[in-house]
Amino acid sequence: MSAWVYLLRCADGSLYTGWTVDLERRIARHAAGTASAYTRSRRPVELAVALPMPDRSAARREEARIKALARADKLALVAAGQSSSPRADAASAS
């Protein structure tokens, strides 16, 4: 089973870090305001980066590691994740 660690960019500019095994469902719940109290009051949210993990345990460890980072380090992680995503590559090729 695979899992995901993700960062959301909230309407107030803050970043939210979480993990899930069903990324689409979890993002939809954040968008609907039913996933967490933090994001409920900071909607709309958008997915900044999603990192695939081999399993739930690895996802929880990576979530904890990212949450301990300084904001600048989180922004660098987002920038690095976006530049290596297929969507970002397609956009830069246009």
Q: What is the pLDDT of residues 44-93, one digit of tens each?
A: 999 999 999 999 999 999 999 999 999 999 999 999 987 665 433 333 33
Contact present, 87 and 45 (Cβ < 8 Å): no
Structural tokens at position 46:
């958008």
Contact present, 4 and 23 (Cβ < 8 Å): yes
pLDDT for residue 84: 62
Contact present, 15 and 74 (Cβ < 8 Å): yes
Q: What is the CATH number of the domain that holds 43?
A: 3.40.1440.10
CA 34, 4, 58, 1 torsion: positive or negative? positive
Cα 40 to Cα 29: distance, rounded to the nearest angstrom: 10
The domain in which residue 50 lies consists of 3-93
What is the count of structural domains for the chain? 1
